Structure 1
């Protein structure tokens, strides 16, 4: 253990520094901090010069955050372990100061619900907007102290420094544009948060256009039916629309060859120069008016596809663009595979594994959201099904149920739903305007069952206002058993 005289004392034992012991000369601080701003050659350099010079006059933790695309990004700070890299709009004290355009003074950080803690000993904070020439915030100057401080006096100094810094940044052309790595991170976050496959495909195409600087992005994925092309429905003259139309016209075999070629040989950067021979898979793009094409494989060879990023201009190959598209494609597939896995798990959890129909859980959810005045329940039972199992075995019985389920589903209208709630018991939920309409649908179901060689009995009940779904289903079941007692293979409307 080192001797006492070599021990670093904790903050509460440490002797105050010169700028802590002597009241600061704020006019001098403002002059010293802003004296070197004219020498800055970029917005980031101006912020770094400001933070470094200000740090010589106060023990505060200092940071400057500038607005870049959709959030505040830290571009200069003292103590890199004690600064947020990015802050979202409206988040924390810095977000409040930026959105309001007004200085925020926090004399007790523990009492401010917006304070974002980065170290446990901070007691006070000042956050000052950095304005442009017209007074609009382009960022913030943030200071945090761990001991006593004259906040009101520091407010004036911080506002003076922030104003001069803002003018210098404006003179240098404003905050630096979002870098490609920052764009990639933003788009990856958007893809990860996509709630479904449609949103993910749209996010991937937007990312490809933004990161590449090219005008069009089309995603083509292998499907059992021959391929699925994802592109927005734009104007007929749009390059993306022309590419999608060209791929559709070429047919699934051409798309399959293009996907196989990309997976086998890797990413390609193609220029569609006039009078230059091209691969057969690329001829359709030349005819569509593509001048530059980046093709990147996505996912595995047997189930993936290709990301196509294109432009009408002839642009020189850029290895960085291709690398970014490969990273983007890999992330897009990871997100797509995750969404498909979640969708499959949900389907398995909410459907009958034999017939694929939804079961009692989703039935309850549908009934909870149904319009009581227009909802009818059709309770369905397969006539003589027990004898099928007893005579031919459960394998044949299962086949009968699957075939019957498909026939009943096909007989329903769009929007009607069929559920399996027991062994050979089904229930259909239909929206109708009158009892006769529900009976007509039930008759269609019995006809569909007869075409499979089986018969069914159907009880129909219209749900009364305020009636629980269980009671509606019970009345439909009562009507069903009336059909059974009357000889089966028929329909009856519940009374009451």
Structure 2
């Protein structure tokens, strides 16, 4: 192999690249002519290593944590690694079943700081030392060209949304969730202010953190608070009646009456997105004092964000309600050997399964036949579910039509089979239920196991109800 020729081939092409991504793609393409290795370039974007160019492979990881895999290890240490046998390296991330060796070197800026990695993986023996020298020289040239073109590519709006969606899902309380949702709205939209107005016991109110990062958001919060629940209710009603709306950033046009408080706060550009249901949800207001023209794609991203935030908020509220109501149930007489929270706190990792159960269409029964009929249904269902459980299994009613079974199993599929038996028991009395199953994991907080079971239950609901789903570990 003429390694000098490899370097010349890549070096000649790099100046013709007009973007950082193009420079990476040309480097990968040129290298692929000289080696059968799987070649990829990952660049640091926000807090992840993102693959921006790669040769064909069964799997190329889209993003990798800076601390994960050989590529993450190289980036974090700013030192190359030549691994002759990947099977003995605990950090190896498999992309092909036949890979035997991996070579990874940092891509640095001219000051020597890592901005990414160049990675090669072989399926047979190769001259790792010789290729390492070549890869390091190419990585230095690539890094210099990337910096000359303006640096690593910025995080796209869709990538931002995915990152924030993960943070929303991981939120453990409502305050953390609302803080993340408002910050995400600013970040993804590019506007300077975001406010959530949500329904409450005493009427709609501005929700979330009060430490606004800018003057506009502070003024918006103050004007909306002064406007009062009735005015906020009109904003919510408008958003839910007509759907999302936005300004076109043109001067000389007065806002509709509902949005006068925002205009008084100095807002010139606004996106108003409905959140949740009209009676229990609210509206997400994303604003700026500049005259801008939000495009429909940005509005769509805000709608996705609002939907994710509401799903997570509803889940947290449900979990809070379940915790409050878990200690007793005078209606069904379900057995309680102790508070529900204490029971799941004593869960055995890998053996204790939580089966989150929700009655499908229960609200329709109450609305059509009255609450007495709903109560009779719950009692009948409780007896049917108890009859389907094994001796020693425990059933709790932890909400209006929400139950949780706590069972001990030896394998996940055993828990799924029991959950399926519960769905059959419900069908036997003419009803259907949705069941989410989660096994307690080592070191996992009990609430987290219940959260995963609850998430699996909602997945069943979205797929048509009347079924069982096992939560991911």
Query: Counterparts of 1:191-340 in structure 2 under 5 Å?
Result: 191-234=168-211, 238-270=215-247, 276-340=253-317
Going from structure 1 to structure 2, the CA distance change for 1:42 and 1:274 (only over 3 Å counts) comes to closer
- What residue in structure 2 maps to residue 184 of structure 1? 161
In structure 2, C-alpha distance between the alignment counterparts of 1:195 and 1:300, rounded to whole Å: 22
Tell me the CA shift for residue 259 of structure 1: 0.1
- 1:3-82 matches, within 5 Å, as 24-82=1-59
Distance (Å, rounded) in 2 between the aligned partners of 1:75 and 1:129: 15
CA positional deviation for 1:336:
1.6
Q: CA deviation at 1:81?
A: 2.8
- Residue 247 of structure 2 aligns to a residue whose secondary structure is strand
CA offsets per residue over residues 191-211 of structure 1, 9 Å max, x none?
111112211111111110011
**Residue 58 of structure 2 aligns to a residue in which SS?**
helix
TM-score with structure 2 setting the length:
0.68
Moved more, 46-55 or 269-278: 269-278
Could you tell me whether the CA contact under 8 Å between 1:271 and 1:291 is conserved in 2?
Answer: no
Report how far residue 34 of structure 1 moved.
2.3
> Is 1:138–2:115 an aligned residue pair?
yes
Question: Are residues 1:167 and 2:144 paired?
Answer: yes
- Rate the CA distance shift 1:160–1:298 in 2: closer, same or farther, 3 A: same
In the TM superposition, residue 66 of structure 1 has moved relative to its aligned partner by: 0.4
User: In structure 2, do the counterparts of structure 1 residues 50 and 272 end up closer, same or farther at CA, with 3 Å as the change threshold?
Assistant: closer
* Aligned positions of 1:285-434 closer than 5 A: 285-349=262-326, 351-353=327-329, 360-361=338-339
CA contact (8 A) 1:44 1:75 kept: yes
Aligned residue for 1:81, secondary structure, equals coil
**Alpha-carbon shift at residue 183 of structure 1 (Å):** 1.1
Larger Rg: 1
Q: Secondary structure at the match of 2:145?
A: helix
State the shift of 1:119 in Å: 1.7
- Structure 1 length as normaliser, TM-score? 0.65
Deviation, structure 1 residue 277 = 3.3
Distance 1:147 1:276 in 2: 69
What is the CA distance between 1:233 and its match in structure 2? 2.2
How many residues in Structure 1 have an aligned counterpart in Structure 2?
A: 340
C-alpha contact (below 8 Å) 2:57/2:96 kept by paired residues: no
Q: What per-residue deviation string (whole Å, max 9, x for no partner) do you get for residues 341-381 of structure 1?
A: 232333333x33469xx99548979xx9xxxxxxxxxxxxx
Q: Which runs of 5+ in 2 are unaligned?
A: 347-473
Distance 1:124 1:272, change over 3 A: closer
My pick for the range that moved more, 218-227 or 154-163, is: 218-227
- Equivalent residues of 1:221, 1:228 under 8 A apart: yes
By how many angstroms is 1:275 displaced? Answer: 5.9
**SS state at 1:289 partner:** coil
Using the TM superposition, give the Cα deviation of residue 83 of structure 1 relative to its aligned residue in structure 2, in angstroms.
1.4
Q: Which stretches in structure 1 are left out of the alignment for 5+ residues? A: 1-23, 369-496
Once residues 293 and 62 of structure 1 are traced to their aligned partners in structure 2, the CA distance between those partners, rounded to angstroms, is: 45
